[in-house]
């Protein structure tokens, strides 16, 4: 272990210990010349017999991480290979881990958890779109630091997770038991972006319920089992994230992020209201269509009726001696009015004139 007050690499002064894990310890150090604080992670060689394998893996991964630049990732500035340990120098993130916040405050508000999850989606999407893609594989509250401005930073990045001892409180194989996806234990193929989606879902579950999935009963129940006031939309998202089969999860972090941004729309009450509005719309549309069809049918019927009346009038006129052209003129003048008003009296008056006009003419001729 590093001694407090000692100088590392001639420039980093160790101030105090700020955290430790199964095979590493994290210290707060300061570069006195630049007056800048740094976090130094010490990986002890004496902890593992296969340290040389770990060392090579760490050095390769650190070189890769040095190229990453994202506001939610700590920058790794130096790797110091000493006789008894390997030291990783990175940005010092001032704040508390979400694990500590859970221990002190318990379950967090779902709105706050969703806000943190969206921020974590941003950094995961950045990692997954690198060439080659980087799979974090160890998302959990202990590895997320919350800063004073309510922004989160992903820490403990680049450790040799696949080589840590199997321990429910630390990394097992390629992840932490309870948070790790099934495929991280070699049972369902290779890890990919959907592995991180599972880990993030398990992290959200812990944050919003206060129940640690790495502790008995080692299961994740629907979140409304623990608190009926929680969003059923968020419940669906977490259940989809933590599906055993990667094909049943969100297939990309961008897809998950969109769902989180609209989780309220997935609530049962919101869905029921939407379905009710849709049924009302269908009812109004159906009624409108029925009215339209009825109007069209009446219009067609009126056309047929008009032709029938006209034919009847012409047939009656054929049985008289009246001048047919004169009678046609009378019909053309009177018929539209009768049809427009739809009054039987008008139609009766037309027929009366048809009969009376020729009779009057005959009387005049007889005189």
Domain boundary residue among 206, 241, 266?
266
Q: Which residue has the higher pLDDT, 168 or 192?
A: 192
Instruction: Note whether 121 and 134 are same-domain residues.
Output: yes
More confident position, 168 or 247: 247
Domain-located, residue 272: no
- Greatest mean pLDDT among 62-71, 105-114, 288-297, 322-331: 105-114
Contact by Cβ (8 Å): 153, 73: yes
Within this chain, do residues 298 and 346 fall inside the same structural domain, yes or no?
A: yes
Query: Does the pLDDT of residue 250 top 70, yes or no?
Result: yes
Residues 6 or more apart whose CB falls under 8 angstroms from that of 309 comprise: 335, 338, 339, 347
* Higher-confidence position of 119 and 366: 119
Q: Could you tell me the two tokens for 319? A: 């049985």
* Least confident segment among 87-96, 171-180, 353-362: 353-362
pLDDT band for position 337 (cuts 50, 70, 90) = low
Residue 345 lies in a domain: yes
> At which of 40, 57, 92 does a domain end?
92
Q: What is the residue whose two structure tokens read 């339209």? A: 292
Find the domain containing 39 and state its range: 1-92
Residue 273 pLDDT class (50, 70, 90 cuts):
low
Stronger pLDDT, 317 or 323, i.e. the higher one = 317
Q: 124 and 41 share a domain? A: no
Mean per-residue pLDDT, 40-59:
72
Residue 239 belongs to domain with CATH number:
1.10.510.10
Do 256 and 347 reside in the same domain of the chain? Answer: no
The pLDDT value given to residue 278: 66
pLDDT over 90 (residue 155): no
In this structure, the answer to whether residues 309 and 356 fall within a common structural domain is: yes
Q: Give the C-alpha separation, 54 to 183, whole Å.
A: 22
Of residues 327 and 309, which shows the higher confidence score?
309
Residues 118 and 261 occupy one common structural domain: yes
Cut 0.85: pTM above it:
no
Residue at 275 is within a domain: no
Q: What is the mean pLDDT of the segment spanning 272-289?
A: 72
Higher per-residue pLDDT: 3 or 319: 3
Q: How confident is the model at residue 105 (pLDDT cuts 50, 70, 90)?
A: very high
The stretch 178-184 carries a mean pLDDT of: 87
pLDDT value of position 229? 94
Are residues 170 and 313 part of one domain?
Answer: no
Handedness of CA 255, 260, 265, 269 (dihedral sign): positive
Q: Residues 35, 164: one domain?
A: no
Residue 72's pLDDT band, with cuts at 50, 70 and 90, is very high
Query: DSSP string spanning 147-206?
Result: PTTS-EEE-STT--GGGS---TTSEETTEETTTS-GGGGTSSS---HHHHHHHHHHHHHH
Confidence check: pLDDT of 117 > 80: yes
Domain count for the chain = 3
Q: Is the pLDDT of residue 46 over 90?
A: no
Residues 105 and 84 in one domain: no
Residue 293 is assigned to a structural domain of this protein: yes
Residue 271 lies in a domain: no
Regarding whether 103 and 82 lie in a shared domain, the answer is no
**Dihedrals φ, ψ of 284, to 5°?**
-65, -45
The arithmetic mean of pLDDT across residues 322-340, rounded, is: 55
pLDDT of residue 22: 64
> Residue 336's closest CA among 359, 352, 313, 360?
313
Residue 165 in domain: yes
End-to-end CA distance of the chain: 144
Q: Tell me the per-residue pLDDT of 123-143, one tens digit each, with 9 for 90 and over.
A: 999 999 988 888 888 899 999
Kindly provide the residue ranges of all beta strands, DSSP E only, lying in the chain, ordered along the sequence.
7-8, 12-20, 24-31, 36-44, 76-81, 85-91, 96-97, 144-146, 152-154, 171-172, 175-176
- pLDDT value for 34: 85
CATH number of the domain that residue 30 is part of = 3.30.200.20
Q: Looking at the domain assignment, is residue 273 inside a domain?
A: no
Q: Report the pLDDT value the prediction gives residue 361, as an integer from 0 to 100.
A: 46
d(CA 175, CA 18): 22
Residue 302 CA, distance from chain mean position: 56
Quote the pLDDT of residue 269: 60
- Of 266, 290, 317, at which residue does a domain stop? 266
Task: Verify that 178 and 260 share a domain, yes or no.
Answer: yes
- pLDDT digits 0-9 by tens, 183-226: 888 766 678 899 999 999 999 999 999 999 999 888 899 999 99
Tokens of 305: 């009726």
With residues binned 3-state (H G I as helix, E B as strand, rest as coil), the percentages for the chain, rounded to 5, are 55, 15, 35
Distance (Å, rounded) from C-alpha 244 to C-alpha 252?
A: 16
Is the domain of 99 the same as that of 246? yes
Q: What is the pLDDT of residue 308?
A: 74
Predicted pLDDT at 191: 83
Q: Convert the pLDDT of each residue in 5-21 to its tens digit.
A: 999 988 999 999 988 76
Residue 166 scores a pLDDT above 60: no
- The reported pLDDT for the residue numbered 312 is 72
């Amino acid at each position: 272990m590093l001694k407090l007050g000692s100088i590392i690499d001639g420039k980093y002064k160790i101030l105090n210990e700020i955290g430790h894990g199964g095979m590493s310890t994290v210290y707060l150090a300061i570069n006195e010349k630049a007056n800048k604080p740094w976090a130094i992670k010490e990986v002890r060689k004496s902890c593992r017999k296969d340290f040389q394998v770990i060392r090579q893996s760490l050095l390769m991964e650190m070189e890769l991480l040095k190229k990453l630049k994202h506001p939610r990732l700590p920058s790794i500035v130096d790797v110091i290979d000493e006789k008894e340990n390997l030291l990783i120098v990175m940005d010092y993130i001032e704040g508390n881990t979400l694990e500590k916040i859970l221990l002190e405050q318990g379950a967090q508000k779902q709105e706050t958890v969703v806000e943190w999850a969206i921020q974590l989606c941003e950094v995961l999407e950045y990692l997954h779109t690198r060439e080659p893609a980087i799979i974090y594989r160890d998302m959990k509250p202990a590895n997320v630091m919350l800063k004073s401005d309510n922004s989160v930073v992903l820490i403990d990045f680049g450790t040799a997770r696949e080589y840590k001892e199997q321990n429910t409180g630390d990394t097992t194989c390629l992840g932490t038991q309870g948070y790790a996806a099934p495929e991280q234990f070699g049972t369902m193929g290779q890890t990919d972006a959907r592995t991180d989606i599972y880990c993030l879902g398990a992290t959200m579950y812990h944050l919003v319920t206060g129940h640690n999935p790495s502790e008995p009963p080692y299961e994740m129940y629907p979140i409304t089992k623990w608190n009926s006031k929680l969003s059923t939309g968020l419940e669906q998202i977490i259940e989809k994230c933590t599906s055993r089969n990667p094909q049943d999860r969100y297939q990309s972090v961008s897809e998950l992020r969109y769902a989180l941004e609209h989780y309220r729309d997935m609530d049962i009450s919101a869905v029921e209201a939407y379905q009710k509005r849709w049924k009302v719309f269908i009812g109004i549309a159906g009624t409108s269509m029925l009215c339209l069809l009825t109007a069209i049918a009446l219009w067609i019927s009126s056309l047929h009726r008009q032709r029938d009346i006209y034919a009847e009038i012409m047939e009656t006129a054929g049985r008289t001696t009246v001048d047919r052209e004169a009678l046609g003129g009378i019909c053309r003048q009177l018929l539209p009015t009768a049809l427009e008003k739809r009054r039987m009296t008008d139609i009766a008056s037309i027929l009366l004139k048809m009969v009376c006009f020729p009779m009057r003419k005959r009387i005049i001729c007889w005189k």
